[in-house]
Amino acid sequence: MEKNALETDIQFLPGVGPKRALLLRKELNVGTVGDLIKIYPFRYIDKSRIIPINAATPDMAYVQIRAKVEEVSLFGAKGSIAAEDVRFNTVKRMSVKVTDGTGYMEIVFFKGIKWMYSKLKAGGEFIFFGKPSIFNGRLNMVHPEVDSAGASEKEKDPVMQNATMSGVYPGTEKLRNGGITGKTMARLMESALKMALPEMKETLPQHLLVEKGLVPIHFAVRNIHFPRDITALEKSKYRLKFEELFYLQLSLLKQKYVRCRGENGIRMPKVGDAFNICYGSLPFDLTGAQKRVITEIRDDMKSGHQMNRLLQGDVGSGKTMVAVLTALIATGNGYQACIMAPTEVLAQQHFKNISRYLKNTGVKTALLTGSSRTAERREIHAGLEDGSIGIIVGTHALFEDNVVFKNLGLAIIDEQHRFGVEQRAKLWRKSSCGLAPHVLVMTATPIPRTLAMTLYGDLDVSVIDELPPGRKPIQTMSATESRRPALFKFLKDQIALGRQVFIVYPLIFESEKMDYKNLETGYEQIVKAFPFPPYRTAIVHGKQSNEEKKFNMDAFAAGRADILVATSVIEVGVDVPNASVMVIESAERFGLSQLHQLRGRVGRGSEKSYCILMTGHRLSKESRHRIELMCATENGFELAEEDMKMRGPGDLEGTQQSGLPIELNIASLAKDGLLLNDARQCAERVLEEDPKLVLGKNRILAEEVGKEKYNNTCNYSKIS
Ligand code: ADP
Ligand code: MG
């Protein structure tokens, strides 16, 4: 293919050259002219506005003032330097006193002084453009952009000629040192557009542009960089964001269409006796949400298409029940099911609960973990191979090569983010019937809808959005160290009422040593404050052997300990209905979803429950916000949305490993949820009419989706 302007190596763009090209590549990952054009300003400044100096305050972002230079002073390491002695290599700072009649401002430069010194002469009038701040009680501006105020239109920066707004590009210290300032970026962008725009082809089909009222690509690209006015900018942003989200959804949904069209799934037409026995002997009614989700799953499993479903439900919403019934559909149709948990403790707990539900069903179940003994292991392997074990619960041990199934028809994965893609692929190969097993992924990390749609565009999503009845809300409070005596008194009162208490310490990888020290000191403090007898305190942490962990966990679960001191890493999923208090130490060190997960350990019984967040005195604004949110809401989805807004989707706990299939350049999952919805619906409509994108009017779509970047999106139907 002939190279077009967009693919031109960035070093050949006028004004770049090999040195700057290297810098651009390193700092901004820009290799071609097309890459450069995709660097959008992250902010715009209204250049038509000039404010009086006496209106400038340090809390303002970038502003523009027009002022006359009154005095220029230079300073070296030893203080002020007289103008006649100036040797620029010894000058450390240049200070310029300017006024516009309403007040004074000090303009300060630490770099590029020689050039500025030649430009800023007393009496000259300039436009300074920067961030006001206060230093030594004086209003100042450090390293502003400077333009001559008297410059005629043609002298002015050509880039800014008809733009009333100017974009601020992402910059780094290294870029600036290498001579690529914000202004340079704007200039480079101008040449890049000149070179590439004429060759740039429309990337959305006409019918979509019309239907959605989107501006053409040329208009959008020009105005995202050099907006004619605010309306043009908004329209351009909208179009580019829409396009980005639309293609993301289109590529994901297209894969899903492929999966759902072929007869590639194991058909499981009945529910079977075991299902009915289990269902009939439940000590409670399923919640409406549980029933709805089971219907959705059941429809998938009988459809003949492979199920790939994400089940989201807050902690305590009853996902295990759904898992059991789903597994029984598989066994009812003559297939095996496996349920995988991320930790040994969780697997054991699942196994215990599941065995209880399966009591009268005649379905044989087993537990396989890293600590299963050899003889037992051999027996389980045989049972899986000959099909006598219907439901296997386990950890990563299930992935081992010598685990072979007779006919694996369903894989349920709890807390999906701890299993990598590789491992899921391995599981899929274990199915000997030639068809991919149905997959149900369960997560208690509420993933915001917008994110779920993007991460799992190819998955169907079910949500249990209702807690079993009778749950009392959990009262959440925060406290600092001075309240500890009151806290201990409160815990004693709770224990006197027969309740149990969790006390959790953070364990964060980088400072593991310190954390264990905190845990130990904390444990000593607790044992001192809650002496035996009558108080019984157990401790679990990651450094214990599995037996030791299990022993302590069991003691707490069985009520033989009143207090469980633990680190945050091992506790996920433990179910102790009698525990009514969760104390989280150094709560400011946890992320929102983690705090929420921990809180979900209590409030499982019928007693009123409490979550107490112990924090330090001085909190960052962000930590304070997190703690306040926790106290304000129990809704996991709300918290997840907030978490995403605060930290950005890439950082969202539990999703770091999955990562976004495609990096978004302009749209934001946290902020553009509505647009994402719209883009998805639009993609759905297109595919409904033309699933293979063969119609002439969709030619552009087929071309775009065929591009490499979209083929890297995870295809869950193949890997799981
Ligand atoms: P999750 O795995 O979603 O955190 P679990 O499945 O562990 O939640 O359920 C939490 C608790 O609620 C368990 O003790 C379970 O027996 C109970 N439970 C589940 N479904 C119901 C229901 N419909 N009504 C009452 N209790 C329920
Ligand atoms: Mg669970």
| Mean pLDDT, residues 338-352 taken together | 87
Residue 514, pLDDT score: 74
CA 18 to chain centre: 37
Q: What is the pLDDT of residues 464-478, one digit of tens each?
A: 888 888 777 899 999
The ligand whose atoms approach the alpha carbon of 579 most closely is 1
| Mean pLDDT, residues 316-343 taken together | 93
Higher pLDDT, 36 or 174: 36
> What is the Å distance from ligand 2's center to 415 Cα?
9
d(CA 157, CA 187): 9
Amino acid at position 610, single letter: Y
d(CA 541, CA 466): 32
| Mean pLDDT, residues 421-450 taken together | 72
| Mean pLDDT, residues 549-565 taken together | 91
d(CA 506, CA 488): 19
Residue 155, pLDDT score: 46
Residue 151, pLDDT score: 53
315: tokens are 């902690």
Question: Do 300 and 430 contact (CB within 8 A), yes or no?
Answer: no
Mean pLDDT across the chain, nearest whole number? 85
Question: Do 139 and 95 contact (CB within 8 A), yes or no?
Answer: no
544: tokens are 């214990």
Residue 369, pLDDT score: 92
Higher pLDDT, 674 or 385: 385
Residue 698, pLDDT score: 94
Residue 87, pLDDT score: 79
Q: Which of 12-16, 275-279, 383-387, 548-552 has the lowest mean pLDDT?
A: 548-552
Residue 708, pLDDT score: 66
Residue 236, pLDDT score: 96
Q: What is the pLDDT of residues 605-616, one digit of tens each?
A: 778 999 999 999
Terminal CA-CA length for the chain: 36
CA distance to 30, 111, 178, 224, per residue, from 14 (Å): 15, 26, 16, 21
The ligand whose atoms approach the alpha carbon of 342 most closely is 2
Q: pLDDT category, 683, cuts 50, 70, 90?
A: very high
> What is the Å distance from ligand 2's center to 318 Cα?
7
Nearest CA-CA partner of 390 in 297, 272, 300: 272
> Helix/strand/coil (H, E, C) string of 410-454?
EEEEECHHHCCHHHHHHHHHCCCCCCECEEEEEECCCCCHHHHHH
Q: pLDDT category, 153, cuts 50, 70, 90?
A: very low
Q: What is the pLDDT of residues 579-600, one digit of tens each?
A: 999 999 999 988 887 888 889 8
| Ligand 1 pocket test target in 284, 321, 463 with most atoms within 8 Å of CB | 321
Q: Kindly tell me the sign of the dihedral angle through the C-alpha atoms of 478, 483, 488, 490.
A: negative
Q: What is the pLDDT of residues 354-382, one digit of tens each?
A: 999 998 899 999 999 988 899 999 999 99
Q: Whose CA is nearest to atom 16 of ligand 1?
A: 318
> What is the Å distance from ligand 2's center to 578 Cα?
16
| Mean pLDDT, residues 332-343 taken together | 92
Question: Do 431 and 276 contact (CB within 8 A), yes or no?
Answer: no
d(CA 670, CA 650): 10
d(CA 720, CA 420): 10
Higher pLDDT, 506 or 206: 206
Higher pLDDT, 508 or 129: 129
d(CA 527, CA 497): 19
> What is the Å distance from ligand 2's center to 40 Cα?
43
236: tokens are 């351009």
d(CA 419, CA 565): 27
Amino acid at position 84, single letter: E
> Helix/strand/coil (H, E, C) string of 509-563?
HHHHHHHHHHHHHHHHHHHHHCCCCCCCEEEECCCCCHHHHHHHHHHHHCCCCCE
> Helix/strand/coil (H, E, C) string of 78-130?
CEEECHHHCCHHHEEEEEEEEECCCCEEEEEECCCHHHHHHHCCCCCEEEEEE
Torsion angle, alpha carbons of 512, 517, 518, 520, to 10: 120
* Residues contacting ligand 1 via CB (< 6 Å): 284-287, 290, 313, 315-321, 444, 468, 575, 604
The ligand whose atoms approach the alpha carbon of 354 most closely is 1
| Ligand 1 pocket test target in 287, 356, 575 with most atoms within 8 Å of CB | 575
Residue 458, pLDDT score: 65
Cβ count near 662 (within 10 Å): 16
The ligand whose atoms approach the alpha carbon of 291 most closely is 1
Amino acid at position 338, single letter: C
- The percentage of residues in the chain with a pLDDT greater than 70, rounded to a whole number, is 87
Nearest CA-CA partner of 451 in 459, 320, 250: 459
Q: What is the pLDDT of residues 198-234, one digit of tens each?
A: 989 999 999 999 999 999 999 999 999 999 888 999 9
d(CA 567, CA 303): 44
Residue 459, pLDDT score: 73
Residue 713, pLDDT score: 44
| Ligand 1 pocket test target in 282, 320, 467 with most atoms within 8 Å of CB | 320
- The percentage of residues in the chain with a pLDDT greater than 90, rounded to a whole number, is 48
SS3 614: strand
* Backbone dihedral angles phi then psi of residue 684, each to the nearest 5 degrees: -60, -45
- Whether this prediction's pTM lies above 0.95 is answered by no
The ligand 1 atom at the shortest distance from the C-alpha of residue 285 is: 23
Q: What is the pLDDT of residues 20-62, one digit of tens each?
A: 999 999 988 899 999 999 999 988 877 778 899 999 998 887 8
> What is the Å distance from ligand 1's center to 424 Cα?
27
Q: What is the pLDDT of residues 97-109, one digit of tens each?
A: 999 999 999 999 9
Higher pLDDT, 218 or 650: 218
Q: Whose CA is nearest to atom 10 of ligand 1?
A: 316
Q: Is the pLDDT of residue 338 over 60?
A: yes
Q: What is the pLDDT of residues 272-311, one digit of tens each?
A: 999 999 999 998 999 999 999 999 999 999 998 888 888 9
